[in-house]
Structure 1
Amino acid sequence: MSGSRKEFDVKQILKLRWRWFGHQASSPNATADSQRGDFWSQGQSGANGGRKFFDPCSLHLPLASIGYRRSGQQDFQNSSPWPMAAPSEVPPSDFPAEACGGAHWLDRPDDGTSEEENESDTSSCRTSNSSQTLSFCPTMEPCTSDEFFQALNHAEQTFKKMENYLRHKQLCDVVLVAGDRRIPAHRLILSSVSDYFAAMFTNDVREARQEEIKMEGVEPNSLWALVQYAYTGRLELKEDNIECLLSTACLLQLSQVVEACCKFLMKQLHPSNCLGIRSFADAQGCTDLHKVAHNYTMEHFMEVIRNQEFVLLPASEISKLLASDDMNIPNEETILNALLTWVRHDLEQRPKDLSKLLAYIRLPLLAPQFLADMENNTLFRDDIECQKLIMEAMKYHLLPERRPMLQSPRTKPRKSTVGTLFAVGGMDATKGATSIEKYDLRTNMWTPVANMNGRRLQFGVSVLEDKLYVVGGRDGLKTLNTVECYNPKTKTWSVMPPMSTHRHGLGVAVLEGPMYAVGGHDGWSYLNTVERWDPQARQWNFVASMSTPRSTVGVAVLSGKLYAVGGRDGSSCLKSVECFDPHTNKWTPCAQMSKRRGGVGVTTWSGLLYAIGGHDAPASNLASRLSDCVERYDPKTDVWTSVASMSISRDAVGVCLLGDRLYAVGGYDGQTYLNTVEAYDPQTNEWTQVAPLCLGRAGACVVTVKL
Structure 2
Amino acid sequence: MPTARPIKGEPDVRFSQREASTSEHSISSMASNNSICVDENFKVSKHAENSLKVMETYFQQQQLTDVILVAGTKRIPAHRLVLSAGSEYFAAMFTSSLRESGQNEIELMGVDGDALWALVQYCYTGCIELREDSVETMLGTACLLQLSAVVKACCHFLIKQLHPSNCLGIRMFADTQGCALLLSVAHAYTMDHFMEVIRNQEFLSLSANEVAKLLESEDVNVPSEETIFHALMTWLQHDSENRSKDASKLLSYVKLPLLSPAFIADHIESNEIFKDQRAAQDLVMEALKYHLLPERRPLLQSGRTRPRKATVGLLLAVGGMDANNKGATSIDAFSLRDSAWSHLVDINGRRLQFGAAVVEKKLLVVGGREGLKTLNTVECFEFSSQIWNTLPPMNTHRHGLGVAVLEGPLYAVGGHDGWSFLNTVERWDPAARQWSYVAPMSTQRSTVGVAVLNNKLYAVGGRDGSSCLRTVECYDPHTNKWTSCAPMSQKRGGVGVGVVNGYLYALGGHDASASNPSASRFDCVERYDPKTDTWTMVAPMSAARDAVGVCVLGDRLLAVGGYDGQQYLTLVEAYDPHLNKWQEVAPLKMGRAGPCVVVKNSIGKPQSV
TM-score by length of 1: 0.79
Partner of 1:436: 331
The CA distance in 1 between the partners of 2:516 and 2:65, in whole Å, is: 84
Query: C-alpha displacement at 1:372, in angstroms?
Result: 1.4
Q: Which amino acid aligns with 2:239?
A: D
Q: Residues 313 and 598 of structure 2 are in contact (CA less than 8 Å); yes or no, is this contact kept in structure 1?
A: no
1:596 equivalent to 2:488? Answer no
- CA offsets 1:604-634 (integer angstroms, 9 cap, x no match): 1122111011112259999981111111111
Partner of 1:304: 197
1:460 equivalent to 2:331? Answer no
The CA distance in 1 between the partners of 2:599 and 2:490, in whole Å, is: 27
Aligned-partner SS, 1:555: strand
Partner of 1:51: none
Aligned-partner SS, 1:296: helix
Q: Residues 466 and 514 of structure 2 are in contact (CA less than 8 Å); yes or no, is this contact kept in structure 1?
A: no
The CA distance in 1 between the partners of 2:179 and 2:34, in whole Å, is: 55
Q: How does 1:464-503 map to 2 (within 5 A)?
A: 464-503=359-398
2:448 to 515, 533, 553: 553
Q: How does 1:200-239 map to 2 (within 5 A)?
A: 200-239=93-132
1:573 equivalent to 2:465? Answer no
Partner of 2:577: 682
Q: How does 1:333-348 map to 2 (within 5 A)?
A: 333-348=226-241
The CA distance in 1 between the partners of 2:277 and 2:399, in whole Å, is: 59
Aligned-partner SS, 1:557: strand
Partner of 2:404: 509
1:189 equivalent to 2:82? Answer yes
- CA offsets 1:441-470 (integer angstroms, 9 cap, x no match): 111111111111111111110110111100
Aligned residues, how many?
Answer: 584
The CA distance in 2 between the partners of 1:621 and 1:191, in whole Å, is: 81
Q: Residues 219 and 337 of structure 2 are in contact (CA less than 8 Å); yes or no, is this contact kept in structure 1?
A: yes
The CA distance in 1 between the partners of 2:95 and 2:535, in whole Å, is: 73
The CA distance in 1 between the partners of 2:21 and 2:573, in whole Å, is: 77
Runs (5+) with no aligned partner, structure 1: 1-118
Q: Which amino acid aligns with 2:200?
A: N
Aligned-partner SS, 2:183: helix
Q: Residues 489 and 535 of structure 2 are in contact (CA less than 8 Å); yes or no, is this contact kept in structure 1?
A: yes
Q: Residues 461 and 703 of structure 1 are in contact (CA less than 8 Å); yes or no, is this contact kept in structure 2?
A: no
The CA distance in 2 between the partners of 1:441 and 1:656, in whole Å, is: 13
The CA distance in 2 between the partners of 1:687 and 1:436, in whole Å, is: 24
- CA offsets 1:484-536 (integer angstroms, 9 cap, x no match): 01122322211111112221111011111111111111222211111211112
The CA distance in 2 between the partners of 1:603 and 1:187, in whole Å, is: 70
Partner of 2:272: 378
- CA offsets 1:5-53 (integer angstroms, 9 cap, x no match): xxxxxxxxxxxxxxxxxxxxxxxxxxxxxxxxxxxxxxxxxxxxxxxxx
Query: C-alpha displacement at 1:546, in angstroms?
Result: 1.4
Partner of 2:176: 283
1:416 to 304, 310, 315: 310
RMSD, aligned α-carbons: 2.4
1:368 to 255, 258, 261: 261
The CA distance in 1 between the partners of 2:310 and 2:184, in whole Å, is: 19
Query: C-alpha displacement at 1:151, in angstroms?
Result: 2.8
Q: Residues 483 and 496 of structure 1 are in contact (CA less than 8 Å); yes or no, is this contact kept in structure 2?
A: yes
- CA offsets 1:569-602 (integer angstroms, 9 cap, x no match): 1121111111112222222111110111111110
The CA distance in 2 between the partners of 1:436 and 1:139, in whole Å, is: 80
- CA offsets 1:244-278 (integer angstroms, 9 cap, x no match): 01001111111111111111111111000000000
Query: C-alpha displacement at 1:293, in angstroms?
Result: 0.6
Query: C-alpha displacement at 1:150, in angstroms?
Result: 3.3
The CA distance in 2 between the partners of 1:162 and 1:370, in whole Å, is: 71
Q: Which amino acid aligns with 2:522?
A: S
Query: C-alpha displacement at 1:147, in angstroms?
Result: 4.0
Query: Matched residues, percent identical?
Result: 65
Q: Which runs of 4+ in 1 moved over 6 A?
A: 130-134, 136-140, 619-624
Partner of 2:10: none
The CA distance in 2 between the partners of 1:124 and 1:253, in whole Å, is: 56
Aligned-partner SS, 1:334: helix
CA change 1:124–1:461 in 2 (3 A) is farther
Partner of 2:531: 636
Q: Which amino acid aligns with 1:369?
A: A
1:249 equivalent to 2:145? Answer no
Query: C-alpha displacement at 1:126, in angstroms?
Result: 5.7
The CA distance in 2 between the partners of 1:230 and 1:248, in whole Å, is: 13
1:526 to 421, 424, 437: 421
TM-score by length of 2: 0.92
1:272 equivalent to 2:165? Answer yes
The CA distance in 2 between the partners of 1:290 and 1:277, in whole Å, is: 8
Partner of 1:391: 285
The CA distance in 2 between the partners of 1:409 and 1:389, in whole Å, is: 13
Query: C-alpha displacement at 1:556, in angstroms?
Result: 0.4
Q: Residues 421 and 705 of structure 1 are in contact (CA less than 8 Å); yes or no, is this contact kept in structure 2?
A: no
Q: Which has the higher contact order (CA 8 A, sep 6+)?
A: 2
Aligned-partner SS, 2:83: helix
